[in-house]
Amino acid sequence: MREAAGPVSVRSLRRAGVSARLAVGGVALGGLVVLASLVSLSLGPVEIPVGQVAAIVLSFVGLDVAEVGRTEQLVIEQIRLPRILVGAFVGMALAVAGATMQGLFRNPMADPGIIGVSAGGALGAVIAIATGLTGLFFLALPSFAFVGAVGATFLVYGIAAAGGHFSMATLLLAGVAVNAFLGAVISAIVILLPDNEALREILFWLAGGLDSRAWEHVQISAPLIVGATVVILLRARDLNLLMLGDDEAQALGVRVGVTRVVLLAAAALATGAAVAVSGTIAFVGLVTPHILRLVLGPDHRVLIPLSAIAGAVFVVVADTFARTIIQPAEFRVGVLTAFVGAPFFVLLLIRNKRQAHAL
Amino acid sequence: MQTGRAASIRADDLDFRVEAKALLERVRLHADQGQLVGLIGPNGAGKSTLLRAIAGVLQPQEGAVWLEGEELESIPARDVAARMALVPQIAPYTHGFTARELVLMGRYPHLGRFEIEGAADEAIAREAMELTETEEFAERTLDTLSGGERQRVFVSRALAQQPRVLLLDEPTANLDVLHKLRVLDLVRRLVDEGLTAVAAIHDLGMAARYCDRLVLLSGGRVLAEGAPEDVLVPDIIESAFGVRSAVYRDPATGSLAISLIEPADNGRAHAPSASVNGRHGHGAERHAPGGPVEARRRNG
């Protein structure tokens, strides 16, 4: 390898081959996600030492390495582990969808919510809460949010494809319009709502949170998120070519129309599934791929898989802070991601002004 | 139908309309293996549109394109890309990719879905960059390169595709005189080694000097076709471009040279397509010879 010797500086990593960048990034971020999860599992009202946590996690897969306490085991199995898994899958979905949208729109400022998916999910959730359906059955909120998210995406896509001629510029503008409209509908519902309890529930949901997430939430979101991520991974190379423009991509063998629809649909499904179980968690989809791109370059074969892991790290860490900093109360993870993510992002932009400009 | 050897690339009676406007009308073109065919014509004549139709990037309403005897529509897009490359007129910006990464994209059509480019692909890319003298900025991102440098990188990418048919849309438009000659010399050499190429070229003298045959487009139709001597005659140049000219052998290069003398007078101006172009010839369009600014009215 060209850069085998010497310290792995950021620059030499950027210049390394696709497999080398994947390996280094995968090991580093993979280690981080394991570490963050272990620490997160140990923290909370019941403190569990990390060694105990590891023993308990190993006992789930049939490896009994040490005596584990029954209470600790229950806390981890029933409360902390599902919550962390939901957080990890949500982070994965948002970061992968963000990277995909940024590639499709050839714009590093694109966000998974750009095609109305978050606003649609929010409206679905608000309707479920305002009508009191959430009290009737457990899956009312996530299913309404999911239907809203996917419905809004269809609407935005339908507008952009109207008249038989699809355009990404129209898609962007339609997304802005639909986002604004759905936002207004949500505001109207909130204003007209007589019930203060429901109002509080809505505000909580809109701020994005992972409180009392259970295994059911993992079961409904993980298959969609993993499936969509695999679909996007299969097209990561095509995404590189789409960044050059439609003609270029076509001339290099990409079936542009089909590929774009598949990528948009997969990103929307992943985001919809995430929004359904966590509300709107801000900034993960924008900032995660952005940071990775600064370090590892824009190649989506590197960016997509590593965004998946980095997004998981981001949300798990943020949620750990959210549920521990003001114990026994809880902060909202969606507030925290923006609270910490935005200044960090600005700092990064200033420090990397030249590189950021090159993006 | 042609018997014997099929043309490497062949366009049969292409019609392409956008709404009521015909951008290509019954356009025919063919290039045999080892031929460089030049596409010439005024702005908006349909040169880029024709190249994009041949590349399969846009689908004409009528007619068909044949690649090495097979109908283009019946060949999977990736197989087409492994056999035919297109150098675009405007080399796009690409958010952070380095020149080397862009050239390596030329290898994608040759790789399996999960295959990552290996040492052999790296070597092909390096060689392609050496041919256009772009290896010195291999690690620079494309947005830090000048238009001409970027254009040469895109030529390298097309070469890394190892195509049997190469389509070039104004490959020398942004290049300085030295690199203009270098790129056209390179294309000529590859054609002499068996490549087939179709190139839209603005500079009539360059087109005459490097191409085996010329196809003159005007208003979406083929106005003339044949050896440079047969196409580049003052009457034809005047009817296509609305410019009076003199054509002679350049004693220094031995190839045809065209002196563009003046716009033909306004009353007689032959609008390239009278039906759509009523504004042509108000006399204010005097360009330096060979270097009119492409207006890109239709294809931009």
Q: Judge contact between B187 and B163, C-beta under 8 A.
A: no
Domain total of chain A: 1
Q: Judge contact between B52 and B133, C-beta under 8 A.
A: no
pLDDT tens sequence across A327-356: 777 888 888 888 888 887 788 778 766 554
In a domain, A62, yes or no: no
Q: Are strands B36-40 and B213-218 parallel, antiparallel or unpaired?
A: parallel
**Cβ of B17 under 8 Å from any chain A Cβ?**
no
Of A17, A253, A359, the CB nearest to B81: A253
Rounded Cα distance, A234 and A241, in Å: 14
Mean pLDDT of the region A168-181: 90
Q: Two tokens at B99?
A: 């020149």
Q: Judge contact between B264 and B238, C-beta under 8 A.
A: yes
In a domain, A275, yes or no: yes
Please give the share of chain B, as a percent, with pLDDT higher than 90: 68
Of A106, A247, A253, the CB nearest to B95: A106
Task: Say what the pLDDT of residue B110 is.
Answer: 94
CB–CB of A247 and B57 under 8 A? yes
In a domain, A168, yes or no: yes
pLDDT band at A9 (very low <50, low <70, confident <90, very high): low
- Of A67, A20, A60, the C-alpha closest to A41 is A60
Nearest residue of B to residue A354 by CA position? B144
- Of A285, A156, A97, A290, the C-alpha closest to A208 is A285
Task: Say what the pLDDT of residue B123 is.
Answer: 96
In a domain, A36, yes or no: no
CB–CB of B98 and A251 under 8 A? no
Q: Two tokens at B152?
A: 């040469």
**Cβ of B156 under 8 Å from any chain A Cβ?**
no
What was the ipTM of the complex prediction?
Answer: 0.84
> Does residue A150 surpass a pLDDT of 80?
yes
Rounded Cα distance, B19 and B13, in Å: 19
At residue A45, the 3 state secondary structure works out as coil
Task: Say what the pLDDT of residue A267 is.
Answer: 93
Greater pLDDT, A174 or A167: A174
CA distances to A113, A242, A252 from A173, in Å: 13, 20, 28
Rounded Cα distance, B98 and B95, in Å: 9
Query: How is A55-96 classified by DSSP, letter by letter?
Result: HHHHHHTT---S---HHHHHIIIIIIHHHHHHHHHHHHHHHH
CB–CB of A250 and B57 under 8 A? yes
Task: Say what the pLDDT of residue A70 is.
Answer: 84
- Range of lowest pLDDT (B5-9, B108-112, B169-173, B192-196): B5-9
- CA of B124, closest CA in chain A: separation in Å? 15
In a domain, A56, yes or no: no
Give the phi and the psi of residue B127 in degrees, each rounded to 5.
-65, -40
Helix (H) or strand (E) holding A232: helix A215-234
In a domain, A199, yes or no: yes
In a domain, A78, yes or no: no
Query: How is A276-314 classified by DSSP, letter by letter?
Result: HHH----SHHHHHHHHHHHHH-S-HHHHHHHHHHHHHHH
pLDDT tens sequence across A92-135: 999 999 999 999 888 877 888 888 888 999 999 999 988 888 77
Q: Two tokens at B206?
A: 């360059």
The residue range of the domain holding A180 is: 88-358
Helix (H) or strand (E) holding B64: strand B62-67
With a CB cutoff of 8 Å and minimum separation 6, the contacts of A276 are A121, A141, A142, A143, A145, A146, A149, A220, A221
Q: Two tokens at B295?
A: 């207006």
- CA of A163, closest CA in chain B: separation in Å? 13
pLDDT band at A195 (very low <50, low <70, confident <90, very high): confident
In a domain, A54, yes or no: no
CATH of the domain at A197: 1.10.3470.10
